[in-house]
Structure 1
Amino acid sequence: MKVIKTSNILATTFSLLLLTMMPTTITNYLSSPQSSSLNLVYSQETPEAAPMNDNDSRVSQNITSQQQQPINTASLQLPSQEGFKVRVLASNFSEPHNIIYGPDNILWITERLGKSITLVDPNNGTILSNMTVPGVHQSGGQDGLMGMVLDPNFNNNGQLYVAYTYDAANNSSSNSDNELERLTKITRFTFDKTTSTINEPVDIISGLQGSIDHNSGRLAFGSDGKLYYTIGDQGKNQLSLYCQDIEAQTLPTAEEVANQNWTAYQGKVLRMNPDGSIPEDNPVIEGVQSHIFTFGHRNPQGLAVGPDGNMYAAEHGPNSDDEVNRLQAGGNYGWPYIAGYQDDQAYRYVNWSSAGEQCPQLDSRNVTAGIEAGVLAVKESEVNLPNFVPPVATFFTVASDYNFTDHNCGQLAYICNPTIAPSSLRLYDSDTIPGWNGTLLMPTLKAGKIYQLILDDNRTSLALEPAEMFKSENRYRDLAISPDGSTLFVITDSSGPAQAIGGGATTELWNPGSLLEFKYVGGNNNNNITEIQ
């Protein structure tokens, strides 16, 4: 097994900032003699921007055929990369989440807070249309309009699929979550190119769990023509949800599937027919066939077809061990018992819900006291998970004695964790940029980089150390690739912290809520790729 090593991983420590938004995990270090009584380490995932009222959307809901406000390039700080020309193509998006270069030669962008799909001319950044997606509920954390994918036959049928949270209690007019029943659905729309509108909504699956955290929400069509969807663990066992049990290992009963009770669909990757039904060749797991393709996931925000035609996912880890996984039918990816490799390194599962009725009285920031009060702590070596599939790579695996308190991130300590916060995954399949064909590109949030991954011949690990590209103080959310392979179109979060170039953390993003263009113009693109040791 090859483990990626890094010599410049920033350290991390305990943080009390933003307790309601940042996930937690526990390391072996926390119960060591060096640890303080305040034994909490936060993960790399950062709080999303505060919810905005409908009238506060940063992008007009009725923009058509016009240019956005001119961009003052003189005051911009842009990423740089040898062989590429970089510019801001458009800005002022309301938490852009998903970007696609459509077969109609238009960029399709979902805006999570804006609850809309924005169409952009890739040549000049002109906003061609902004289409509100009906029924989207967004009120806190990471809910709202998420993933989108165009039908493989889009040019003929105009169909697209979007995933979003909705209020099953029809309480959309209320700003209070008291009566909110937040769930998730995937809806198919038909695009009318003459009016630039989406119509004919058909819910292909609804009643999926929805949360303020770890929704994941990526959609992709596989090479098999099936629709794949990532759904996270809903942020349980951490922060305000720390007394809720993680269901990533829970599998549905045959009765639940027959009754369309999808409660067990948490921490999973789903595989379905385009009409939402269960494919006949889906895996049978513990005697039950369902939409579940793989399970044991934490927060898989990246999903892509790899160079071998198999599906790959990029996944947020806790304080360490972000993962890239090759998805195998029926595979168990370990969470919450295993993060990264099953190696008893800097992770162990501390299950706050095991304290039962006593849990709400416990301080989830004090792990030592929690364990003394009966909270269950499990080492990775103590579990035997059938069909466990180790990751292709981790970012990063660190030793059990890793010092999480040695950092310079101040109150944003989780930004200094040995993680990168992978937010998407895309396959580059062109010969335009020398040496890139067949590689995976992985944008990151807190790291402010795009990683290039080269798989080995077995597709089970990396052949080379990942290349770090387009270093910035941005939160890269997703990217699309032009058909000729010459240009990357990258969207950035509107707000949130990231690693500072000079060390530490920053909340002053270079290009917030923007669409960036990275155009290849030639030159040396070796990106300092080296062999894995």
Structure 2
Amino acid sequence: MRTRLGTVLAALVTSATAAAVLPSGTPASAVTPVGAGVAAAAQTAPTAARATPRLRISVRARGLSHAWDAKPIGRGRVLITEREPARLTVAAGSGTRRVRFPTGKVFVSGETGLMGLEIDPGYSSNRRFYTCSGWRTGGGGHDVRVIAWRMNDAATRARMIKPLVTGLPSTSGRHGGCRLLVTDGGALVVGTGDAAVGRNPRSLTSLGGKTLRLQLPSGRPHPANPFAGASNRKKRYVLTYGHRNVQGLAQRRDGSLWSVEHGPDRDDEVNRLRPGGDYGWHPVPGYDESVPMTDQSLPGKQVGARWRSGRPTLATSGSTFVDGRKWGAWNGVLAVAALKAERLVLMRFDRQGRFVRSWAPRQLRRYGRLRTVTQLPNGNLLVCTDGDGGAGKVLLVKPV
């Protein structure tokens, strides 16, 4: 698969009519396979005039297994989730330490384990943070759920406050989602997977294949949600539906919310979220992955992707909008970690949300599968690699 991916990307470079080449020598067209129906605007003069920065990369944490998310918690410390061993780890100084946490309660199978992580805006005083993970419910059952936790002052032990939302579907562990994002307005957005059940994405009484929006700290459905008045409680959580497996969530400076998700054998997607929007994944009967990622033949109106990979997929995952003048021409891009393609893809969208172009910095193409990317308050990036058996790392990326 990796050889085929490289061959196809090389072909894209060869066939591109206007392949912009990075200072590092990586053709931008190699990571911008744009399918039919996805708008691509011409590069604007202001973007061309700004220089792309050089990157200085160091290892912030090592010895990890399937690092899934990483967020700063103050005093130079970084909190990390590891999916398969279901561990919480803190990187502090030059080392790491495990956080006491009920690992045995986490359901771990396939793509599901200890996944999404977010930090409460008031963490410095309340020590609250949130996870999304598989969870053992007793009697051999399991689901995916979002849980609020409180960390002790030394960041050595986490105590459960309460589950915020439960009952996200879970079967074999396939398509478990599950990304978290605290918005600028203080809401918690949850990106979920469809659990490989075909009816879930477009069923408004299932929490699978959706983005959900919750109030903090209560966990109640957000009052501005499009179905906030529904009689069914699950439906009241729904922000958007018709998704396959949401892996990334990000908020742009203009306040818009964006998602990144895995396609089947084609069409990874980047979507701009519209409350109440149907994003068109409906793999029925059974679980028929030959259907389009955004099936415009379905009843109603489906929201088209802002970018899609075509064939092959890159296995796009965690994302963040990169802000700050020190990023030069990359100020304002959407940074997307890619697992199968083993790169960080920087995507430029114009003010209307139309795809413009992308870059893949060569310096980040030597670390294997990349799971997610987070921007620190100082503008630098944290990038999680997906190595297992202690081979995983969290990288610190500085523009210079």
Matched, 1:267 2:209: yes
Matched, 1:249 2:197: no
Cα deviation, residue 428, structure 1: 1.2
Residue 125 of structure 2: SS of its match in structure 1?
helix
After the TM superposition, which residues 391-470 of structure 1 pair with which residues of structure 2 at under 5 Å, given as runs? 391-396=305-310, 417-459=311-353, 461-462=354-355, 464-469=356-361, 470=364
CA contact 1:334–1:385 (8 Å) conserved in 2: no
Over the residues paired in the alignment, what is the CA RMSD in angstroms?
A: 2.9
CA contact 1:163–1:186 (8 Å) conserved in 2: yes
Match of 1:140 among 86, 98, 109: 109
Residues 491-521 of structure 1 deviation map (CA, whole Å, 9 limit, x = unaligned): 111249xxxxxxxxxxxxxx93122232323
Cα deviation, residue 185, structure 1: 1.6
CA contact 1:136–1:145 (8 Å) conserved in 2: no
Residue 156 of structure 1: SS of its match in structure 2?
helix
Match of 2:168 among 193, 204, 208: 208
Indicate how the Cα distance of structure 1 residues 512 and 200 shifts in structure 2: closer, same or farther if over 3 A, else same: closer
* Equivalent in the alignment of 1:513: 392
Indicate how the Cα distance of structure 1 residues 351 and 88 shifts in structure 2: closer, same or farther if over 3 A, else same: same
Gaps of 5+ in 2: 1-7, 14-51
Distance 1:387 1:104 in 2: 48
Distance 1:110 1:233 in 2: 22
Distance 2:223 2:115 in 1: 28
* Equivalent in the alignment of 1:322: 268
Cα deviation, residue 82, structure 1: 7.2
* Equivalent in the alignment of 1:278: 221
**Structure 1-normalised TM-score?**
0.60
* Equivalent in the alignment of 1:386: 300
CA contact 2:228–2:237 (8 Å) conserved in 1: no
Structure 1 outlier segments of 4+, above 4 Å: 285-289, 377-382
* Equivalent in the alignment of 2:374: 480
Distance 2:381 2:296 in 1: 44
Residues 109-141 of structure 1 deviation map (CA, whole Å, 9 limit, x = unaligned): 0011222211113xx531144332455333421
CA contact 2:345–2:360 (8 Å) conserved in 1: yes
Residues 352-399 of structure 1 deviation map (CA, whole Å, 9 limit, x = unaligned): 469xxxxxxxxx9xx9xxxxxxxxx79977724424111111112xxx
* Equivalent in the alignment of 1:151: 120
Distance 1:101 1:455 in 2: 27
Indicate how the Cα distance of structure 1 residues 157 and 111 shifts in structure 2: closer, same or farther if over 3 A, else same: same
* Equivalent in the alignment of 2:147: 187
Indicate how the Cα distance of structure 1 residues 378 and 228 shifts in structure 2: closer, same or farther if over 3 A, else same: closer
Distance 2:293 2:186 in 1: 39
Q: Which amino acid aligns with 1:119?
A: V
Distance 1:480 1:350 in 2: 35
Cα deviation, residue 287, structure 1: 6.0
Cα deviation, residue 226, structure 1: 1.0
Distance 1:378 1:418 in 2: 14
Q: Which amino acid aligns with 1:388?
A: Q
Cα deviation, residue 286, structure 1: 11
Q: Which amino acid aligns with 1:515?
A: V
Q: Which amino acid aligns with 2:359?
A: A
Indicate how the Cα distance of structure 1 residues 153 and 326 shifts in structure 2: closer, same or farther if over 3 A, else same: same
Cα deviation, residue 285, structure 1: 8.5
Indicate how the Cα distance of structure 1 residues 235 and 350 shifts in structure 2: closer, same or farther if over 3 A, else same: closer
Larger radius of gyration: 1
Indicate how the Cα distance of structure 1 residues 152 and 428 shifts in structure 2: closer, same or farther if over 3 A, else same: same
Match of 2:190 among 221, 229, 236: 229
Matched, 1:108 2:69: no
Match of 1:351 among 285, 304, 309: 285
Cα deviation, residue 449, structure 1: 0.7
* Equivalent in the alignment of 1:340: none
Distance 1:151 1:286 in 2: 27
CA contact 1:330–1:387 (8 Å) conserved in 2: no
CA contact 2:280–2:294 (8 Å) conserved in 1: no
Match of 1:119 among 82, 85, 90: 90
Distance 1:199 1:432 in 2: 39
Distance 2:201 2:358 in 1: 28
Cα deviation, residue 143, structure 1: 1.9
Residue 132 of structure 1: SS of its match in structure 2?
coil
Distance 1:162 1:119 in 2: 15
* Equivalent in the alignment of 1:131: 100
State percent identity of aligned pairs. 26
Match of 1:219 among 172, 175, 180: 180
CA contact 2:175–2:194 (8 Å) conserved in 1: yes
